[in-house]
Structure 1
């Protein structure tokens, strides 16, 4: 028999072992037992879909939770209340200044000393009220892009504000106390922690 005979079993054995090279421009087939790559030849596989909506990686929070949104609004409300307190503080300091200049009280040395001390205390408290209000507004504004540092600061802010609302500002601080406790609770929850740590979850 001739090895060139196509019907010969010896000729078929001779052709075995000579692997055919893939043609130019055609992808090689994957070996048996290896699953084919997704995404097509030459393209990486797409990342898995996030259960929170949108693309990205599993567990990544892409939308601000409702509790965090509520805490943000409450911070703005606290900031607004602080600004109202600043107005009353300025009016009180101006009232003391007007009383000092009253001709009937100019000769009263004791009143003048008390008025000077009171005016200084009122201006100092007004400055603190203003700074606290600005801090509340800045914290609320940074909830959108802030990280865990903003979360910790908001927690501390809420706790201190709640304490100050109980003492010494008991009557006027009641609203501050309620709002501050809610801010601390909403920010301290697990979904709040996930929101402020979302940038770390992507790595």
Structure 2
């Protein structure tokens, strides 16, 4: 319900609901960009997932080195290096531009292809990286994630 009353100066807008009783979109480009100060939940979830996937890469590399030697450690690291790079990019999600989002989506897509190859060869450890990469692409492809990474930043 719009609580604004008609006035001689023209239609008034309600500070909470905007004009005509409609709620403003929280991450629209036409809205108030200053109100976009908190990272959306899907971007935060993608950031945490990227950290977890990078951590799994490092733990898997260490376990591969201990249990199977340097050759297995190298194979595990090579299979998860893209997740490690996305994990490093995730540290900049709170202040990075759209390039970090696009790079994360591209790297996660390439990781999906690599993981699909591991699944096709019946090699171990292909499903977890593929599921993580799919989730990253889905989370970072949403409109609120795009709005977060393309928001106006003050100098």
> TM-score with structure 1 length normalisation?
0.53
- Aligned partner of 2:57 in structure 1 is 82
Tell me how far apart the structure 2 counterparts of residues 157 and 70 of structure 1 sit (CA, whole Å).
17
Tell me how far apart the structure 1 counterparts of residues 141 and 25 of structure 2 sit (CA, whole Å).
22
The correspondence for 1:175, drawn from 125, 128, 152, is 128
Q: List runs of 5+ in structure 2 lacking aligned partners.
A: 1-8, 10-17, 19-23
> TM-score with structure 2 length normalisation?
0.67
The correspondence for 1:93, drawn from 69, 85, 88, is 69
- Aligned partner of 1:64 in structure 2 is 39
- Whether 2:67 is the aligned partner of 1:128: answer no
Partner SS, residue 64 of structure 1:
coil
Matches within 5 A, 1:1-203: 52=26, 58-60=31-33, 61-91=36-66, 92-93=68-69, 119=71, 122=72, 124-129=74-79, 131-169=81-119, 171-199=124-152
Tell me how far apart the structure 2 counterparts of residues 186 and 58 of structure 1 sit (CA, whole Å).
22
RMSD: 2.9
Poorly superposed stretches of 4+, deviation over 2 Å: 49-53, 122-134
Tell me how far apart the structure 1 counterparts of residues 43 and 80 of structure 2 sit (CA, whole Å).
24
Partner SS, residue 152 of structure 2:
helix
Instruction: Work out whether residues 158 and 180 of structure 1, in 8 Å CA contact, stay in contact via their aligned partners in 2.
Output: yes
- Aligned partner of 1:100 in structure 2 is none
Post-superposition Cα deviations, 1:73-100, rounded to whole Å, max 9, x if no partner, equal: 1101101110122113312125xxxxxx
Indicate the structure with greater helix content.
Answer: 2
